[in-house]
Amino acid sequence: MADPLSISFGIAGLITLAERLFSRTFKYAKAVRNAPQEIRSLSEEIGALNGLLHRVQLLAREMEGQPMETSIQAYGLHSCHKTLEKIKMILDKHEVPSTAKATIETVKRRLKWPFSISEAKSLVDEIGRHKSILSLALKADEISGLLQVLSEQTGLSEGIREIKSELHQRREAETRIQMSEERQNILGSFGTTTPERNHDMSLKLRKPQTGLWLTEGEEFSDWLNTPGSGLWLYGIPGAGKTVLAASVIEKAIRRSSQKVAVAFYYCNYKNVETQRPNNIIGSLAKQIATQDEQCFQALRTFYQQHRRPDKLPPEYEPPELSALIKRMAVFFETTMIIVDALDECGKAVKTLTKLLAGLRSNTEDNDIRTLFLSRDELDIRDILTNCSQVSIAAQSGDLKLYVAAEMERRISDKDLRIKDSSLKDHIMERLIEGADGIQVPMGGLPNGLSL
């Protein structure tokens, strides 16, 4: 389910990038006498793509406040972003600094077209494909929007609401068993912390298109598709690990089914209850149990074995809970476990990491895959030596999209007035340099910079 306004902000970075690239390629085409058709074609295609992106943003703004599933979001715009970044990288590599001494060589270099004819043709074709797909998605969304408006006038709104209700069931995997008061009490004994709330908050912080370098990357794809695989994502504070955790959890949830279980958890240094190993592993066990009736029966048996004669809540030891998860996992072909912020568990970090790392399994009856996110701490690194490892730093592409989105919001709110597109580009580059690998915070900008 997409918020049209978030789509509008999400494509702001693409629009800014496309505008700047059009300006730069157009100057080349204008400066070179008898310029090859490829020069003019690339500039024209970028301009046409920019026009389409503006139409998408305009449609999203018109539909503000009407959440709906969109073809544009399904397309993702990620490959379009990659193509524009490829063009920018080539132009940047060739560009002569404006402060360089004006010699015959620098003048020649400024006038030299940085693309070969074959490169230009290939890029024109790529942009053409993006335009075609984007046009189809745009038409689909225009029709969808029109139907939504008509439904309010023709009495079809009830049907639309029913469709929306179905789309809202994004996490169908959360429960596949019949619930009762007794069952809820049993599940409640495995901890009261709710990772779903943290997950929803993290998703709200994530800007559209960001994090795709990871979720569409080779390392994460290998983890998703390799039995018994382990992946550790580590980075400095402020690199956006928790927002990335939300992205990978969403990807995993889309794979969930009666044969694939998914369980996740967010540790939080601000909440002591989220740092206790029995709460963390208990929550993972509880989530897995709700995805299969036989799993729940195993959980119930475990609960009954630990019931106390004084009727006080049962106490579970973390190693026992880990063993329970392994027993329940045999009822699935694959079980995926994702835990964010291992480093935020205080004195329990080492114990917890060992227990969670020990869940990994690749046997005939048990395929358990684990993915962890944390700071790069020695205790964690020593234990996760057998996991694939990916260093996280805020990606420049993600930062550009974020900063452009914030600029777009402030321009829309009339808090910022910029008419010169080259000035907008300069401000964005300066802010990204100031971020120094740290994700730009929601409430402000790095190193004292302001818009």
How do beta strands 260-266 and 361-362 pair? unpaired
pTM for this one?
A: 0.61
What the chain holds in terms of domains, given with CATH numbers, is: 4-158 (no CATH), 190-392 (3.40.50.300), 396-448 (no CATH)
Amino acid 52: pLDDT: 84
Amino acid 132: pLDDT: 81
Cα separation, 402 vs 432, whole angstroms: 10
Cα separation, 433 vs 448, whole angstroms: 13
- Burial label for 309, CB within 10 Å (0-12, 13-18, 19+), is exposed
Question: If you count them, how many residues does the chain have?
Answer: 451
Q: Tally the C-alpha atoms within 13 A of residue 217's C-alpha that lie toward its C-beta.
A: 17
Q: Tally the C-alpha atoms within 13 A of residue 288's C-alpha that lie toward its C-beta.
A: 36
Q: Tally the C-alpha atoms within 13 A of residue 274's C-alpha that lie toward its C-beta.
A: 20
Which of helix, strand or coil describes residue 438?
coil
Q: Which residues are within 8 A (CB) of 422 and not within 5 positions of it... i.e. 6 or more apart?
A: 20, 23
Q: Which residues are within 8 A (CB) of 3 and not within 5 positions of it... i.e. 6 or more apart?
A: 67
> Positive or negative CA dihedral for 246, 360, 375, 319?
positive
Q: Helices then strands (H, E): number in the chain? A: 20, 6
Cα separation, 241 vs 243, whole angstroms: 6
Asked if 59 and 146 touch (Cβ cutoff 8 Å), the reply is: no
Specify the amino acid at residue 18: A
Which of helix, strand or coil describes residue 69?
coil
Q: Per residue of the chain (451 residues), what is the pLDDT tens digit?
A: 444 445 555 677 788 788 888 888 887 777 666 666 777 788 888 988 888 888 877 776 666 555 544 555 545 577 788 888 888 888 887 765 555 455 555 445 555 667 788 888 889 888 888 888 777 777 766 666 555 544 544 444 454 444 444 444 444 445 566 677 888 889 999 988 889 888 888 877 766 556 677 887 889 999 999 999 999 999 887 667 888 899 899 999 989 999 999 999 999 998 999 999 999 999 999 999 999 999 999 999 999 999 988 878 899 999 999 999 999 999 999 999 999 999 999 899 999 999 999 999 999 889 999 999 999 999 999 999 999 999 886 555 566 666 666 676 677 677 777 766 666 667 766 766 655 545 544 334 444 334 4
Cα separation, 248 vs 254, whole angstroms: 10
The Cα-based distances of 362 to 253, 281, 323, 369, 450 in angstroms read 20, 20, 15, 8, 51
Q: Tally the C-alpha atoms within 13 A of residue 234's C-alpha that lie toward its C-beta.
A: 17
> What single DSSP character describes residue 232?
E
Amino acid 54: pLDDT: 81
Amino acid 442: pLDDT: 37
